[in-house]
A and B are shown apart, each in its own frame.
Chain A
Amino acid sequence: MQASVRPALSVNLPPIVTSAAARETPEALAMRMTISKLDFFYGAKQTLFDVSMGIATNKVTSLIGPSGCGKSTLLRTLNRMHETVRGAQLRGEILLDGQSILAQDVTALRRRVGMVFQRPNPFPKSIFDNVAYGLRINGSKVPISEAVEKSLRHAALWDEVKDHLHKSAYELSGGQQQRLCIARALAVEPEVLLLDEPCSALDPISTAKIEELLVQLKDICTITIVTHNMQQAARVSDFTAFLLVGQLIEFSPTPQLFTTPGDPRTEAYITGRFG
């Protein structure tokens, strides 16, 4: 499967799947999301330039690059979280399962494309209520307590919290809080999970736990992670996109990008010459 998507992922080849015919090819079907010719503006300032890439189904795709390269912006367009910022505007197309996300109802889209943020941001509620929040506002097919347990298990947090689900989420450690936020996002069963530097506020042990978790979560959803930590990208992701001042410089399978980068700027970045 990795081999079959590889051609579509190289930037040197023609941009990915924009025509209707192309969407039906096996390469296109393996893509949960496709971004094509994406330009992004904050007011008059353009921060993304003609970005085209795919997010492969049930894989981990990481976005790396120096600060200000637009990787978080790119991530936030995928569930239209950029719309909460005044003056943000985008041009281009983003497809989820072949349908434009820009034409969809934004709340329905965000149920399908969940998000975990840089700093753990649990609600000031109990552990249980945090995970149940999304279920309660969206309605749940299974009983809420079952769904909560399932999500906490998926987030590898169940064993640590099962005896005090009604304690405040603020009593958990930072790493546990972040896994709680992952559980909260998983509870609504998103197809895609976006993570915006989820480990930047965490210690190495908590980071390792979350990385391990991401690899397991591939089975139930498609993951896109922004990280400033190249080792993390190398450890957890199947595909890596390298961005520089708003441009997608290189997008390849992770081992390839880190061992034989196709662009001298990628090589300079991953060998630590800047950034």
Chain B
Amino acid sequence: MATTTTIVPSAGPVAGSRSFLSRLREGDEIARMFTFLFAASVVLITVLLVFELWQGSVLSRHKFGFNFFRTSVWDPIFEQFGALPFIYGTLVTAAIALLIAVPLGIGAAIFLAELAPARVSDTLEFFIDLLAAVPSVIYGVLGIFIVVPLMRQYVQPALKLSLGFLPLFQGPAYGVGFLTAGVVLAIMVIPYIISVSREVLLSVPRDQREAALSLGATRWESTWKVVVPFARAGIFGSIFLALARALGETMAVTMVVGNTPMISSSLLSPGYSIAAVIANEFTEATGQLHTQSLIELGLVLFILTFILNGFARLLIVATSKRGSGMGHV
């Protein structure tokens, strides 16, 4: 205690003697101001966005209130607007996408990071990054010309035959619909999951692997029980990145989802998503209430993303307490 009290006063004047101007000249203050400005702009943009969506949807919010979330009629002629089918479609397609993409993506990442020779891994990583950069409209085209016919002719009839007793796989096989949109979304988000998860797995310290191996673990035991749990937080991060993309994806979804505001227990049935309906109807919306309802849908999508991301953060915190290495670093 005595030593700290003698040190602090002597350090004080030294730090204080450097004036604001001298620190400005040396760049410290400039760097601080500029970086603060950049950081603040993120918050500013978010606030502006919410404000605009809130302001722009004032009519529909007042007219429908909470019924907006509870009703499923979307009728521009009679100006009745309910968001439920779009919320449902957005969540269902994103869920299907993750259900397919997570096991495939993480499996591929484990192969690339742990098992594949370095040259194979690096080459494939190049292609994966390429896939992640392909515009979504291209995936939409792929969906229309390849996925939809495949689904209509082979996958959906097969699903109906084998699992048709489930309400999930009933009704006519149109080709377009929730399931197809989910599959196309899965194809789109897999590169994100692979790329980020691979990076995270590769960054797991070597000594973790070696510790497991030195205890007589097989290569797979060391991968599955030590390396993957260590990287858990980062792998979750890749999944949430994928989820965010799946929720907001517009073009590819609207090309294959069927664009019908419908809530159906069957994944084969056509549907709609929030982003898709905004893109399709915004330019053609004539009535003010129609436009404002679409803006409110945007607000809903924003909130949905916000809530899911919040859950994601909580999940990361909760699991890293239980022992992911990255949480401690």
A-side interface residues toward B, CB under 8 Å? 79, 81, 84, 86, 107-108, 110-111, 114-115, 117-119, 121, 123-126, 133-134, 137-138, 168, 170, 181, 184-185, 188
* Chain B residue total in the interface (Cβ 8 A): 24
A137 touches B328 (CB 8 A): no
B209 within 8 A of A: yes
* Chain B residues within 8 Å of A86, by CB: 118
B323 within 8 A of A: yes
Closest chain A residue to B211, Cβ basis: A121
B218 touches A107 (CB 8 A): yes
Closest chain B residue to A118, Cβ basis: B207
A84 touches B324 (CB 8 A): no
25 contacts between A and B (CB under 8 A): A81-B214, A84-B210, A84-B213, A108-B216, A111-B216, A114-B214, A117-B210, A118-B207, A121-B205, A121-B207, A121-B208, A121-B210, A123-B226, A123-B230, A124-B323, A124-B324, A124-B327, A124-B328, A126-B323, A133-B215, A134-B216, A137-B216, A137-B217, A184-B211, A188-B215
* B201-236, CB < 8 A from A: 205, 207-218, 221, 225-226, 229-230
B-side interface residues toward A, CB under 8 Å? 118, 205, 207-218, 221, 225-226, 229-230, 323-325, 327-328
A134 touches B215 (CB 8 A): yes
* Chain B residues within 8 Å of A126, by CB: 323
B211 touches A168 (CB 8 A): no
Give A31 to B209 CA distance when docked, in angstroms.
Answer: 30
A137 touches B215 (CB 8 A): yes
The contact of B208 among A110, A123, A188, by CB within 8 Å, is: A123
A137 touches B221 (CB 8 A): yes
Sorted nearest first, the 9 A-B pairs with minimum C-beta distance are: A111-B216, A134-B215, A115-B214, A121-B207, A124-B325, A124-B323, A110-B216, A107-B216, A125-B323
Give A137 to B327 CA distance when docked, in angstroms.
Answer: 25
Give A237 to B210 CA distance when docked, in angstroms.
Answer: 25
Closest chain B residue to A130, Cβ basis: B211
* Chain B residues within 8 Å of A138, by CB: 215-216
Known A-B contacts A86-B118, A123-B208; the reply to A185 vs B215 at CB < 8 A is yes
User: B203 to nearest A CB, angstroms?
Assistant: 14
B211 touches A181 (CB 8 A): yes
* Chain B residues within 8 Å of A134, by CB: 215-217
Give A79 to B210 CA distance when docked, in angstroms.
Answer: 11
Other A-B contacts than A123-B208, A123-B212, A124-B323, 7 sampled, CB-CB below 8 A, are A79-B214, A117-B207, A117-B214, A121-B207, A121-B211, A124-B230, A133-B225
A110 touches B325 (CB 8 A): no
A110 touches B205 (CB 8 A): no
* Chain A residues within 8 Å of B214, by CB: 79, 81, 110, 114-115, 117, 185
Give A188 to B328 CA distance when docked, in angstroms.
Answer: 27
Give A170 to B329 CA distance when docked, in angstroms.
Answer: 10
B216 touches A81 (CB 8 A): no
User: A214 to nearest B CB, angstroms?
Assistant: 17
Give A92 to B214 CA distance when docked, in angstroms.
Answer: 22
User: A119 to nearest B CB, angstroms?
Assistant: 6
Give A86 to B120 CA distance when docked, in angstroms.
Answer: 14
Known A-B contacts A124-B230, A124-B325, A124-B328; the reply to A115 vs B210 at CB < 8 A is yes
User: A110 to nearest B CB, angstroms?
Assistant: 5
Closest chain A residue to B232, Cβ basis: A124
* Chain A residues within 8 Å of B327, by CB: 124
Give A134 to B215 CA distance when docked, in angstroms.
Answer: 5
The contact of A123 among B211, B213, B218, by CB within 8 Å, is: B211
The contact of B215 among A84, A111, A118, A119, by CB within 8 Å, is: A111
Closest chain B residue to A110, Cβ basis: B216
A81 touches B213 (CB 8 A): yes
Give A117 to B226 CA distance when docked, in angstroms.
Answer: 16
* Chain B residues within 8 Å of A79, by CB: 214
* Chain A residues within 8 Å of B229, by CB: 124
Closest chain A residue to B207, Cβ basis: A121
